[in-house]
Structure formats: structure tokens, C-alpha cells
Amino acid sequence: MAPPPSGLDDPEQAAFAWARFRAIMAWMTLAAAVAVCFALVVLAEVYGPLNPVTMLGVVGGIGGMVMLTGALMGLVFLSSGSGHDEEVDRRD
């Protein structure tokens, strides 16, 4: 008889972990949008009208950085919450 699946091999635990990851990413998308809007407003106040290339750079730089940070931290929580971290440290 095989032992019960652990971590993301268990469908219920996998569904819960991925739902939590998607929730984290949804919040980080909102945080990225707020950060980009704030940066664009501040830059427009300081430097006047912004070039479209500047706006794309701000969106890509700040938005991309916030989203990448959220994705990496979400994957850390996914790995820890699903039991994969404990499986790596199993010693016979």
C-alpha cells in the first residue's frame, strides 16, 4: 500500500496552495498598479509632461519589479505551505 500523497501531489492541498498563490498575486498586481500610478504622478509633478517612453519605462521598471517580487515571495510561500521544503530535508 502506497503512502498518501504529500505536498502538491495531494490534489486538495495543491488546490489550496495555488489558490493562495493566486490571491497573493492579485494583491501584488493591485500594489504594482498603485505604485506605478504614484510614481507617474510624482514624476509628472516634478518634470512636467512625460514622454510615452518614460511612462513605459516606469511601468516596466516599477511594475515589473513589484510583480517579480510578489511572484518570488508567493513561490516561497507555495513551497513552504505545500510541504516541499520538508521533503527536501528527509534523511534515511
Backbone angles phi, psi at 38, to 5 degrees: -60, -45
Residue 7 in domain: no
Does this model's pTM top 0.95? no
Backbone CA torsion sign across 68, 69, 70, 72 = positive
Q: Please tell me which of 8-12, 15-19, 44-48 the model is most confident about, judged by mean pLDDT.
A: 44-48
Residue 15 in domain: no
Q: Residue range 8-17: average pLDDT?
A: 79
Residues of the domain holding 63: 21-82
Residue with cell 516599477: 62
The 10s digit of each residue's pLDDT in 27-64 is 999 999 999 999 999 999 999 999 999 999 999 999 99
Q: What percent of the chain has pLDDT over 70?
A: 80
Contacts of 35 (CB under 8 A, 6+ apart): 62, 63, 66
Residue 31 in domain: yes
